Structure 1
Amino acid sequence: MSTPVKESPGLRMGRPFGIPVYVSPTWLIVAAFITISLQPVFAAMLPGYGDVVTYTLALAFAVLLYVSVLLHELAHCVVAKHYGLPVRRITLYLLGGVSEIEREPETAGREFNVAFAGPLLSLVLGGVGYLLATYTLPPHGIVPVLVFQLWTSNLVVGVFNLLPGLPLDGGRMLRATVWKVSGDSGTGTVAAAWVGRGVAVAVVAVPLLLSVMSGQEPSLGRTLWSVVLASFVWVGASQSLRVARVRARLPQLRARVLARRAIPVTADVPLSEGLRRAREAGAGAMVLMDHDQRPVGIVNETAVNAVPEHRRPWVNVGSLARNLDPSLVLAADLEGESLLDAMRGTPAAEYLLVERGGEIYGVLVTADVNRMFTGV
């Protein structure tokens, strides 16, 4: 799954395969939870050992479990890089790990392979641990107990991630399958997201139902953990649905259609005069020109609206303009994902649209683009 974030996600731990790995401070919460929760389990499996040893083992398990999670995420990223997909980083956090892959695979088959790589590695780790515990290690002792906990945990991680609902890896595999059959990635996303919502409900409902059927009181700790996991799945599935709705509107996103007509003004023109000229011309934007008639800035609409009407004759448009960096000049024929990528590269309130020959076409206002997705 990819969730681009610009701010630092935590402590940087290294760059395996050239991929930056970060550990979020929230990992300390789950490490403490695992240590406290599993210490009684280790104490029961290792009678005769003191609390210091069993707490240390529980903490070691928490660390090694997240090493396994890191390997799971690295499997996703290595396959993604094999297909030429840029990987921003891996972050280990409260509920596991997330791989920030900046672009989706181009085909359903590649999507399936990238998604399946993580659970496959977790299952392989579980299998290797099982073989070690069964055929190599002695039946009792600290190491066999630790290996037992690790291989069973990797098995659970692998199986859980294969559940067929977004945002889990199994959901991405389902999405790829529906995409392959229907020929439409959006249809695959919607189907896998709705199944993901069903999985979220099942994560809470099934354990409770099994407890009731067996005549046992539901465990408060397990119920709370189920609710946390279900919330993660539900939120991720809902976000995937929103993304699918946004992508469905991308074909309507064309710079030429959304552009505002712009009039040229020089920096010394009073704001009131500039607005009068814009009204007469039916324009919705003003482009600042130098004395050689070259565009050097775009008058910011928010700054214009902030100037009281009685002061507008005394404020020049040049004081309300943003300098026109090259990154704010976009081709007028951009549309869809290409247009969004260009805007994400340099976030701004306005962009100058130009023809391929350099002629000014108009001004694209980010607020106009955002309105296309209002309510999505």
Structure 2
Amino acid sequence: MAVFLARDVFPGAVRGESTLSYWLMGTGTAFLFFMSVLGHELGHTLAARSAGIPIGGITLFLFGGAAQMNREPASAGAELKMALSGPGVSLLLAALFWAAYQICLGSLNTLAAMSLWLSQINLIVAGFNLLPGFPLDGGRVLRALWWRLTGDHLRATRVSVACGRITGLAIAAAGIFVLVQNRDWLAGVWLILIGAYLEYSARLSLRQFNLQQWMKGRKVSEVMETRCREIPPETTVSELLVDPGIERCLLVKLGDRQGVVFAPTLSAHSGTAGLGRIALPVDGALQISPGDDLLVLAQQMNETGRDYAVVKQDGQTVGFVFLDALIDLVNSSRGGNT
């Protein structure tokens, strides 16, 4: 982007500057643009945290980014607030850069040119993200409004995803038109890629939503391991792999602590490794109840980064759950089609 600005934008906007000045303008403007995109995503992040939704991280790309929510909003109002917060930041930045442009125009023309471009690009970012197609912000706004008006979260999601797919296909079609009619390869291919990515993201979002709905109806008791055998810590992986009747859950003494191993994962370790080296400490596991939804368990695993949990009932340990077992259940029960 800095190269594009320095070579193709600023020499025409501010004439008579040195090559070094154009490169400094391009680099500085590119940096401020990506800070603007970060501000857009921080708007989402702050709104999500105010609604009690943890954010796992932020990924930036050209026309926005993705604040990685560890769970979906619990209400239409929370989703609407989160969806509008990012474009709201972009519109605020567009206004601030426009004000800076007006202040600098005539006296500091290099800063004026930078401010004008930043104002315009923030408007574009806000406008693009407000297109009515999930998972864009505009699609989330559409889902939140439909959800609030009808009370039907499932239908609202399917409508917004359908709009997302239509929007993506329309953008890709516009790219093909530009490619064929105007012979503009850069703009055409860019629009095709954006449209294809949006259509794919919409389909993926629906699969993820359907998986979440499926998991809401299943309980931890369906996937927990209740039969566990205690194994000496010096027992090696190779010794266990030759035992066809080995339980899926293995308990290992780790000094005055207890560890646990999910047997189907043993093949991922060296055959000479002792169980004492690879066992996971039970006191470091998540704690969950057998009657909890699998979705609750999956969300807790996602938020904490832990891939195993101890199942407690009335203060007693009744089993263990491993992420690999949860994945196996999802794949077997839905044929891998999520």
Normalised by the shorter chain, which TM-score bucket? 0.7 to 0.9
Once the two structures are superposed, the pairs formed by residues 1-376 of structure 1 within 5 Å of their partners are: 31-32=1-2, 35-36=3-4, 39-93=7-61, 96-131=64-99, 133=101, 137-138=105-106, 141-209=109-177, 217-262=182-227, 264-265=229-230, 267=232, 285=248, 287-288=250-251, 296-298=258-260, 300-302=262-264, 322-328=279-285, 330-344=288-302, 345=304, 347-348=306-307, 351-358=309-316, 360-374=317-331, 375=336, 376=338
TM superposition score normalised by structure 2 = 0.78
Q: 1:203 to 1:262 in 2, by over 3 A?
A: same
Q: Give the conservation status (yes or no) of the 8 Å contact 2:70–2:299.
A: no
Q: In the TM superposition, what whole-angstrom CA distance separates every residue of 1:85-132 from its partner, at most 9, and x where no partner exists?
A: 334444434554332343433211121111111112222332344455
* Higher CA-based Rg: 1
Distance 2:149 2:329 in 1: 30
Q: In the TM superposition, what whole-angstrom CA distance separates every residue of 1:208-262 from its partner, at most 9, and x where no partner exists?
A: 44686xxx52311111221332243233223211211111211232122233441
Structure 2: tracts of 5 or more residues without a match: none
TM superposition score normalised by structure 1 = 0.71
Q: Give the conservation status (yes or no) of the 8 Å contact 1:331–1:356.
A: no
Distance 2:198 2:258 in 1: 48
Q: 1:274 to 1:222 in 2, by over 3 A?
A: closer
Q: Secondary structure at the match of 2:182?
A: coil
Q: Give the conservation status (yes or no) of the 8 Å contact 1:265–1:274.
A: no
Q: Secondary structure at the match of 1:36?
A: helix
Bigger Cα displacement from structure 2, 108-117 vs 48-57: 48-57
Distance 1:236 1:271 in 2: 43
Q: 1:285 to 1:320 in 2, by over 3 A?
A: farther
Q: Give the conservation status (yes or no) of the 8 Å contact 2:251–2:261.
A: yes
Q: Give the conservation status (yes or no) of the 8 Å contact 2:248–2:264.
A: no
Q: In the TM superposition, what whole-angstrom CA distance separates every residue of 1:322-368 from its partner, at most 9, and x where no partner exists?
A: 354223364333323222234443644x655342241x534435444
Distance 1:272 1:256 in 2: 27
Give the share of equivalent positions with the same residue, in percent. 25
Q: 1:44 to 1:254 in 2, by over 3 A?
A: same
Q: 1:228 to 1:38 in 2, by over 3 A?
A: farther
